[in-house]
Chains A and B, each alone.
Chain A
Amino acid sequence: MAEVLLEIKGLEKTFPGVRALKGVQLTVNKGEVHALMGENGAGKSTLIKVLTGIYQKNGGTIRFDGKEIDCKTPIEANEVGISTIYQELNLVLFQTVYENLFLGREPRTGFGAIDRKAMIEQTDKILKDFGIHIDVTKPLKAYSTAIQQMVAIARAVSINAKLVIMDEPTSSLDKKEVQVLFGIIRKLKSRGIAVIFISHKLDEIYEICDRMTVFKDGEYVGEYDIKDIDQFRLISLMVGKDTVALERKKTGYDFADASPLVEVKNIKQGMRLHGINAVIKQGEVVGLAGLLGSGRTELAQVLFGVNMPDEGEVFWMGSSAGIHSPSDAIKKGMGFCTEDRKVEGIVPNLSVKENMTIALLPKLQKFGFVKKKEQDEIVDKYIERLKIKTPSPEQAIRNLSGGNQQKVLLARWMCMNPKLMILDEPTRGIDVGAKAEIEVLIQELSKSGISVLMISSEIAELERNCDRIIVMRDGKVIGEVIDQDIHQDKIMELIAQGSESEGRV
């Protein structure tokens, strides 16, 4: 029986109003690569943050290497032997490779000055052990993300880490670089160092990990040997079935003859989109299904002009769209409710009124003055129509509930009379009541001839609302389901089969 390195039991973490971890458990053995699986909000990152001392736990025990630990800071976690490689690398890019490896614990010469020669020699040796041959005296920014990541790993290992946590380490690596990283992970394994690996790419999980623990909505779902669980089973565990399985609202597909509003052809962009073809017809509600990291949001961003595709073209009502920025997209008649309301959506200190009409202002002004009367009329109309619960239009939006904030954002785009609404996770973090209201609204939009592109991690939600669902995986469209074929199982099956080309199911 393998020796246990980390044992977490009954871990609790609550934030004001949210129970993020509901008594979860996790066991990691020495020298194993352990995957943490789960969609957004499953509690993976909260768990990691508690483990590494960024958050403090509210209950439960963490035993590491035979002792009970309770790290208050990341530095403390480092000292007991837990190192984390973050998505945003925690290194100083302007400084040299060797400085980054030794920052905070520089060797000194007899005079108390920093011993650069020793640092360079040791760095060279450490990196060569990993099979990395680079000039360590160059600034870190001269190297690719992959190398930077490996330097971070080398740093972790050189301070005697027993457990290395990698949070989406492959998200910005290409295939070759991923293999180099996996080579290093195997070396860590052979030295008895355990790795907690978080990735949304299932193929990678199946390639490198030994065991996995699945979480959903802050709860422990189960612990599995990679050998014992196929992708379909895993996806259904992660995505899960909606417990309050609402009925699919739609029957029949009326868009066979509708003219296309937007069409994308062979869109390639960076490492996230690999040749996407898709059509959205007028008045149609199209869902984008797929796991995190499948390229759903990236596709929406290309449509909206946030990012330019490297290749391929977007057509708007039959002719080349020529969208180079969000403002172009807005002029064409698109609206985009982003995934992250707080960062990309609301302006917290402005009022409901201002938040709602901020995109409309160019049309609402005369000689630079806002036409107050028209503004008030529009705001009142949408507050009533969307049943936004706010004491007054002047209320600061940050005081509203998540659901009502989302409605204000929907109103922001609706008052522009858009032709296409892109909704990225429109119901995340919203209570059930508001969720139902937003779903009704989506159907209203569709009835009034507005097309909707809906992105959601909850397949059940797509099932309820969409006329057609496009299924994505790893930056490719791997299938499409229409009308009565729309069913959770069918979609999960498609996602699981998406890797057949790689020889695994």
Chain B
Amino acid sequence: MNTIKKAYRSFYSRSTILAFLLLVVFASIFFRDRNFLSAPNLINVLLKSARNGGLLALGMTFVILCAEIDLSVGAVYALSGVVMGLVGQINPFLGIVCGLMVGVVSGLLIGLMVTKMRISSWIASLAMMFALRGMIQIVARRSVAIENALLRFANTNFLKKTIPGAMSGISIMIPIFFILTLICMYIGRNTKFGMGIYAVGGNGEAAKMMGIDVTKIKIKAFVCCGFLAALSGIMLASGSGSATLSAGNTYETYAIAMCAIGGIKLTGGEGKFSGTFFGILVYFIIDTIFTYLPSGISVHWQSVIMGILVLISVGVQSEVLQNLRPGKRGQA
């Protein structure tokens, strides 16, 4: 019995990585005639992770670890690109700064609403989402073209014409995604702020009694989340050369799903940034697998499978199964 428990425990703690490996193996066998493991394909998975919501999930992790939620990230993602495009027509550098400020300010406002006015973060960020979506329509009537060279920074590619099958090379967004993941992991593990996040989300009352400034930690977490969403948004616009108004619609739900797959507990205090990282990869591998399937069925089934996957990954972490884990009342 002990071995089963032990095996389950190790599976639990590494379930996301295992899911990731299983998916890669499964997909490479299943699609071996179509070279799933080929370089261009893998680069594509990473590019999607870096560009289409991976950073949103990383940012969301800060907030969920505090036992809060931020539903405004999709809107921030869209507005930041638009703001960068518009302000960038005056001064490109200022454009980037203003784009990022969209996320910082919205994060700050949500944080203040949650901590000072005691509004539930579901409501505060939902209100912010509506407000920002409206702002997008107010400041720009149609997509904003981005032409300035500085503003197209994310269009940079490395290793062009060196990787067979991927002549356009590797987008700069991929290393940026990796570096940001590492920074987040470092913050989560090695800073006072990081430890504060886990304490606030794990037991807010206790954190307060231990002299941790709960208000400050939560506001910082929302600002980090907003900042990463805005950075992601300006990279999207910068890479594609156009800021579209409907970008990032419903991406907040995907970001939450990636966190959930990555083992971030929605009740706060448990989970790791590295978990989110693998959650993001698992999500986009499945996303890619669906492009391999015959067209017609894939789009709808993708949603269904994704739903099931989220349920499974959260189910593995559920209280019921956790009771199987040893040490709930361990020896003294």
- By the criterion CB–CB under 8 Å, are B327 and A143 in contact? yes
Which of A94, A141, A143 has a CB less than 8 Å from the CB of B198?
A94
Q: Is A145's CB under 8 angstroms from B329's CB?
A: yes
Which residues of chain B are near A116, meaning CB under 8 Å?
190
Q: Known contacts A106-B192, A113-B191, A141-B328: does B202 contact A90 (CB below 8 Å)?
A: no
**Contact status A92-B190, CB under 8 Å:** no
Partner of A94, one of B208, B209, B270, B331: B270
CA A116 to CA B189, docked complex, whole Å: 9
Residues of A near B326 (CB, < 8 A) are 142
A sample of 5 more A-B contacts (CB under 8 A), given A78-B209, A94-B269, is A78-B211, A95-B269, A104-B199, A105-B211, A144-B332
Is the CB of B205 closer than 8 A to any CB of chain A?
Answer: yes
CA distance A75 to B206 in the complex (A): 11
Contacts of B87 in A (CB 8 A): none
CA distance A358 to B203 in the complex (A): 34
A227 contacts B by Cβ under 8 Å: no
A90 touches B205 (CB 8 A): yes
Number of interface residues of B (CB under 8 A): 28
Query: A482 interface residue, CB < 8 Å from B?
Result: no
Complex alpha-carbon distance, A145 and B203, angstroms: 16
Among B192, B202, B203, B329, point to the contact of A144 (Cβ < 8 A).
B329
How far is the CB of B286 from the nearest CB of chain A, in Å? 28
Which residue on A lies nearest to B200, using beta carbons?
A92
Contact of A95 among B198, B211, B329 (CB under 8 A): B198
Q: Does B4 contact A (CB under 8 A)?
A: no
Once bound together, how far apart are the Cα atoms of A91 and B329, in whole Å?
16
Measured between beta carbons, the chain B residues less than 8 angstroms from A99 are 195, 198-199
Q: How far is the CB of A150 from chain B (nearest CB, A)?
A: 9
Residue B210 lies at the interface, judged by CB distance under 8 Å to chain A? yes
CA distance A38 to B201 in the complex (A): 36
A95 to B271, CA, bound (A): 11
**Shortest CB distance B152–A (Å):** 35
* Chain B residues within an 8 Å CB radius of A93: 202-203
26 A-B pairs with CB atoms under 8 Å apart are A75-B209, A90-B205, A90-B209, A92-B198, A92-B203, A94-B269, A95-B199, A99-B199, A103-B199, A103-B210, A103-B212, A104-B199, A104-B211, A104-B212, A108-B192, A112-B191, A113-B186, A114-B191, A114-B194, A138-B327, A142-B326, A142-B327, A142-B330, A143-B332, A144-B330, A147-B330
CB pair A103 B195 closer than 8 Å:
yes
- A177 to B203 alpha-carbon distance, docked (Å): 25
A146 close to chain B: CB less than 8 A: yes
Residues on B with beta carbons closer than 8 Å to the beta carbon of A113: 186, 190-191
Mask: chain B, 198-224; 1 = CB below 8 Å from A; 0 = not: 110011011111111000000000000
10 nearest interchain CB pairs?
Answer: A92-B202, A90-B206, A142-B327, A113-B190, A104-B211, A104-B210, A94-B202, A92-B203, A94-B269, A94-B270
Provide the residues of chain A in CB contact with B209, threshold 8 Å: 74-75, 78, 90
Q: Considering the chains assembled together, what is the distance between the CA atoms of A333 and B328 in angstroms? A: 37
Question: Given the known A-B contacts A141-B328, A142-B327, are A92 and B192 also in contact in the complex, defined by CB atoms under 8 Å?
Answer: no
> Across the two chains, which residue of chain A brings its CB closest to B193?
A114
B-contact bits for A102-124, CB 8 A (1 contact / 0 none): 01111010001110100000000
Closest CB in chain B relative to A338 CB, distance in Å: 24
Contact B198 A176 (CB under 8 A): no
Bound together, the chains give a CA A143 to CA B209 distance in angstroms of 21
Give the contacting residue for B195; candidates A91, A114, A145, A146; CB below 8 A.
A114
Chain A 73-95 against B: per-residue CB contact (8 Å), 1 yes, 0 no? 01100100000000001111111
Cα A1 to Cα B207 in complex, Å, equals 39
Smallest beta-carbon distance B116→chain A, Å = 18
Select one of B194, B196, B211 contacting A75, CB under 8 A: B211
Q: Select one of A92, A104, A105, A144 contacting B331, CB under 8 A.
A: A144
Query: A237 interface residue, CB < 8 Å from B?
Result: no
Q: Would you give the shortest CB distance from B212 to chain A, in whole angstroms?
A: 5
Contact of A147 among B191, B196, B205, B332 (CB under 8 A): B332
Is the beta-carbon distance between A103 and B331 smaller than 8 angstroms? Answer: no
CB A269 to nearest CB in B, in angstroms, measures 15
Given contacts A113-B190, A142-B327, contact A177 B332 (CB under 8 A): yes
A161 to chain B, nearest CB (A): 13
Cα–Cα distance between A104 and B195 once the two chains are bound (Å): 9
Closest B-chain residue to A84, C-beta based?
B209
Task: Tell me, in angstroms, the Cα distance from A106 to B199 when the chains sit together.
Answer: 13
How far is it, in angstroms, between the C-alpha of A113 and the C-alpha of B193 when the chains are bound? 10
B207 is contacted by which of A92, A143, A176 (Cβ under 8 Å)?
Answer: A92
Q: Say yes or no for A180: interface residue by CB 8 A criterion.
A: yes
Instruction: Report the separation of the CA atoms of residues A91 and B206 in the bound assembly, to the nearest whole angstrom.
Output: 5
Inter-chain CA distance A92–B186, complex, in Å, is 20
Contact residues in A for B203 (Cβ distance below 8 Å) = 90-93
User: How far is it, in angstroms, between the C-alpha of A116 and the C-alpha of B194 when the chains are bound?
Assistant: 13
Nearest CB on B from A167, distance (A): 13
Q: Which residues of B contact A112 (CB under 8 A)?
A: 191
User: Who on chain A is nearest to B187 by CB?
Assistant: A113
Bound: A91/B199 CA distance, A: 8
Docked pose: A106 CA to B190 CA in angstroms: 10
**Least Cβ–Cβ distance between B265 and chain A, in angstroms:** 8
Q: Is the CB of A143 within 8 A of B195?
A: no
Q: Shortest Cβ distance from A119 into chain B, in angstroms?
A: 10
Inter-chain CA distance A92–B200, complex, in Å, is: 8
- Could you tell me the distance between the alpha carbons of A90 and B205 in the complex, rounded to whole angstroms? 7
Give the chain A neighbours of B331 by CB distance below 8 A: 144
The listed residue with most B CB atoms (<10 A of its CB), out of A99, A103, A114, is A103
A74 CB, min distance to chain B CBs, angstroms:
5
Segment 172-203 of A: residues with Cβ below 8 Å from B: 176-177, 180
